[in-house]
Amino acid sequence: SYDLTQPLSVSVALGQTATITCEGDNIRNKNVYWFQQRPGQAPVLVIYRDSHRPSGIPERFSGSNSGNTATLTIGRVQAGDEADYYCQVWDSNTGVFGAGTKVTVV
Amino acid sequence: EVQLVQSGAEVKKAGASLRISCKGSGYSFGSYWISWVRQMPGKGLEWMGRIDPKDSYTNYSPSFEGHVSISADKSINTAYLQWTSLKASDTAMYYCTRLNILTGYDFPLFWMDVWGQGTTVTVSS
């Protein structure tokens, strides 16, 4: 099975940039998706196919994918960005999620 | 507005059967697959399986194959997740998601673009 590794937590100061990584073997060969889950809410898609933003997602959210690491970057972090973030890929027709990264805004 | 509305919270005893539902609106239900995702208390997201409502073709994660079944009734725009014998370890939040599709590649690209509000299932032993 395919494994995705995310940092357990990321801490970022208000207004600064948060970087969340997602590591997987040759992940550059897969399309990566990112989801935001605020406490008590359903997940929301924030990046699809590595770097595309769905309508309604601020430009502050961006994604990239290279080598063995995909990255979600959140610029000018706001208090409302405090949430769990999950990366996801498809492997052999099966969805695989990373364990999630808790982003704390300080 | 594209929406997935799930059935309400369930409390069951171990060994009971259960079916929860997910009703789509605001789009052509038969044109998009539906998948189900589990989230156990305080834990991360786990993909369970998916269904094409057009022909009810399904595929499951190996972790869930044989433990649950996914079905759909396109005439009423509804997908289902079903258990025949619940266990305490099935206690979790369950989300349905719409799978957007992009064709024209070697194989279709899927992504979970719309999520239901979630259904809490509590199983007591």
Long-range contacts of B109-114 (CB under 8 A, 24+ apart): B109/A31, B109/A49, B110/A90, B110/B33, B110/B50, B111/A31, B111/A33, B111/A45, B111/A48, B111/A49, B112/A33, B112/A35, B112/A43, B112/A45, B112/A88, B112/A95, B112/B35, B112/B37, B113/A45, B113/A48, B113/A54, B114/B2, B114/B3, B114/B4
Contacts of A33 in chain B (CB under 8 A): 111-112
| Percent with pLDDT over 70 in chain B | 100
| Percent with pLDDT over 90 in chain B | 92
| CA separation for the pair A93, B70 (Å, rounded) | 16
Residues A54/A46, Cβ–Cβ less than 8 Å: yes
Map tokens 């999630």 to a residue.
A100
| CA separation for the pair B62, B70 (Å, rounded) | 14
**Range 24-43 of A in CB contact (< 8 A) with B:** 31, 33, 35, 37, 42-43
Whether residue A97 and residue B115 make contact (CB cut-off 8 A), yes or no, is no
How far away is chain B from the Cα of A71, in angstroms, using its nearest Cα?
Answer: 17
pLDDT of the residue at A71:
98
pLDDT of the residue at B37:
98
A32-44: average pLDDT: 98
Map tokens 């898609």 to a residue.
A45
Token digits of residue A47: 């990046």
Token digits of residue B87: 């266990």
CB nearest A86 (choices: B45, B100, B110): B45
Phi, psi of A7 (to 5 degrees): -65, 145
Q: How confident is the model at residue B104 (pLDDT cuts 50, 70, 90)?
A: confident
pLDDT of the residue at B103:
86
| CA separation for the pair B10, B84 (Å, rounded) | 15
Q: Answer whether residue B105 shows pLDDT above 90.
A: no
CB nearest B44 (choices: A45, A54, A100): A100
Report the chain B residue with the minimal C-alpha distance to residue A101. Answer: B44
How far away is chain A from the Cα of B22, in angstroms, using its nearest Cα?
Answer: 14
pLDDT of the residue at A11:
98
Contacts of B50 in chain A (CB under 8 A): 95
B100-106: average pLDDT: 85
**Range 4-43 of B in CB contact (< 8 A) with A:** 35, 37
Q: What is the pLDDT of residues B38-85, one digit of tens each?
A: 999 999 999 999 999 999 999 999 999 999 999 999 999 999 999 999
Q: Answer whether residue B108 shows pLDDT above 90.
A: no
pLDDT of the residue at B3:
97
Mean pLDDT over each residue of chain A, to the nearest integer: 97
Q: Answer whether residue A18 shows pLDDT above 90.
A: yes
B93-108: average pLDDT: 90
Q: Answer whether residue A62 shows pLDDT above 90.
A: yes
